Amino acid sequence: MEKYYIAAICGAQQIGSARVQKLLKIFGNAKEIWTAERGELEKAGLPSKALESFIDFRSKNPKAPEKLIDYCIETGVKLCSFADDDYPPILKEIQLPPPVFYYYGQLQTFAERIAMVGTRSNTPYGQRIAMEIAEGLAAAGITIVSGAARGIDTYSHIGAMKYGRTVAVLGCGIAYAFIGTREKVIRQIAENGVVMTDFNPSQRAGAETFPARNRIIAGLSRGVIMVEAGKKSGANITCSYAGDYGRDVFAVPGNVDSPKSIGCNELIRDSGGGTLIRSANDILDFYNWSKNESVIKIKNESVDKNISEKKIDIESLKLEGVEKKVFDAIPSGDFIEDEKILLAVDAVIEPYELSSVLLQLELKNCIVEQDGRYTRKT
């Protein structure tokens, strides 16, 4: 029950990690804070604006802790507070760690994690590199952390899910995670890792929510890789947090003429910036982590093997809508790039949605991918 009281307290504006921790030291537990009289809260040193915000929120939501319990039971959302044993210890190391976070999936408290961040409007080069690095690290047992945004975030998650686990940190409440065109990808992430956020379930995404999300991405991870990013990309904020928290920062070099690579190239250039990396092996070597050579071998041999296997019955899969259109655009025997797939389906799908559809087709054993190009398995 303690963590639900902490979560309820955090529902009030201007009540963050520092104030919650201070109040817990004074009152002993969260229920005492929630039920405290105004005079007791004033005596505890709660500033006037925070005090009024908390009193007002509590008066309007007197059953907030109980409602949070009901919400978690009804939705399957789990709640973790920094008083719980499964709260990741690496996240406690940062300045002002989140008092609570909500999550779907299986939380691996002591997992080794690397974050991957970058632009939402990536190039084909950025997509390929993000997926290759994520695949290689996941194959070695490393969990990939990213922000579930379009572009590099999504390709990092998708690459990781081919051979391992991934964590998506949201810039909104978890109630909004499974709404809209990104629902399939988010659900797939929850099945192959964790979808998490420290925002109240009803919090909508906004300009102010993403820096808060970025601090958690950095805080959960041993290091942060900037794959492809412009000069003012939000990825720079995550790397800045990583530097502040004593995390390692890495960057993938890009074309010097590309605006999408300015952030990475400047990070590499600047003294004390990011360490240049070219592949997952560079990260594995940096930390002296073991490579999974068997998985790498399987990946390299999978295309020829899969193509030569017995044909599957596509009709039995009952492909419909966008999935069928994308599948119909993919040839049998020859490989095709995703840009050509987009042209073939005649704008029935947005570029950022294509990766999700291709992943679903791969999981249904309909298509085979090699180096960012696709062919039918039949």
Torsion of CA 302, 345, 128, 143, to 10 degrees: -70
Both 126 and 237 in one domain: the answer is yes
In a domain, 8, yes or no: yes
pLDDT (0 to 100) of residue 324: 87
In this predicted model, what pLDDT tens digit does every residue of 74-115 receive, in sequence order? 999 999 998 899 999 999 999 889 999 999 999 999 999 999
Given a cut of 70, is residue 280 above it in pLDDT?
A: yes
Report the CATH number at residue 193.
3.40.50.450
pLDDT confidence bin for 333, thresholds 50/70/90? confident
- Collapse the DSSP code of 26 into the 3-class scheme (helix H, G, I; strand E, B; otherwise coil) and give the result: helix
Which of 134-138, 175-179, 243-247, 275-279 comes out lowest in average pLDDT? 175-179
- Structural domain of residue 182, as residue ranges? 105-291
pLDDT confidence bin for 341, thresholds 50/70/90? confident
In a domain, 227, yes or no: yes
Structure token digits, residue 107: 């939380």
CB neighbour list of residue 26: distance below 8 Å, 6 or more residues apart:
44
- pTM (two decimals): 0.81
Both 328 and 261 in one domain: the answer is no
Both 169 and 248 in one domain: the answer is yes
Distance CA(281)–CA(274), nearest Å, equals 16
Amino acid at 307: I
In this predicted model, what pLDDT tens digit does every residue of 152-169 receive, in sequence order? 999 999 999 989 999 999
Given a cut of 80, is residue 332 above it in pLDDT?
A: yes
Percent of the chain with pLDDT over 90: 57
Report the CATH number at residue 55.
1.10.150
pLDDT (0 to 100) of residue 311: 52
Please tell me which residue, 340 or 309, carries the higher pLDDT value: 340
Q: Are 207 and 183 in contact (CB under 8 A)?
A: no
Both 275 and 315 in one domain: the answer is no
Number of domains present in the structure of the chain: 3
Given a cut of 90, is residue 17 above it in pLDDT?
A: no
CB neighbour list of residue 187: distance below 8 Å, 6 or more residues apart:
178
CB neighbour list of residue 16: distance below 8 Å, 6 or more residues apart:
10, 96, 99
